[in-house]
Amino acid sequence: MSSDITTPEPCQIDFYVLKQPSAKASMAACDLALTMWERNQRVFVASKSEKACRQLDELMWQYPEGRFLPHALADQADAGKAMVVIGALSALNTADVVINLCPEAIPQPERFSRILEIVPPADEERMTSRVKYRAYQELGLVPRTQEIN
């Protein structure tokens, strides 16, 4: 007897390690969000505080230069219509891709197609990323790592 039920693909976890000491996680998040948006993916950028969300919102209006990335803050009335949403982990709901700027791993990663973790150059933040990497492994996921400028 064959089954028509297919098992969903596991969430793909990618850790992007920033090589340059001057590299900023927020700018990498903008670049990744733009790439995912161009691929018609719904993106949620999880940020650690309301202040950080507002700063990222401002940055997305200016960077990358010469490009426009339509986005909204999660607490805005029209956020559900936006392909790119910025908010706290507590506001995380529907998305294809989550870009995580928070110090903790994304809960229930199986809800998403991809999670993009950005590893800043500072040693303390790298240690936090290692903890997140292990947390995903403990869930049976196989994170991938690549360096970016």
- The reported pTM is 0.91
**For residue 140, what pLDDT is reported?**
94
User: How far is Cα of residue 50 from the mean position of the Cα atoms in its chain?
Assistant: 16
The pair of structure tokens assigned to 132 is 């997140």
C-alpha span between 96 and 47 (Å, rounded)? 17
Domains in the chain, please, with CATH? 12-148 (3.40.50.10110)
DSSP designation for 7? P
**What's the number of CA atoms in the CB half-sphere (13 Å) around residue 139?**
19
Q: What is the pLDDT of residues 37-53, one digit of tens each?
A: 999 999 999 999 999 99
How many angstroms separate the CA atoms of 94 and 1, rounded?
35
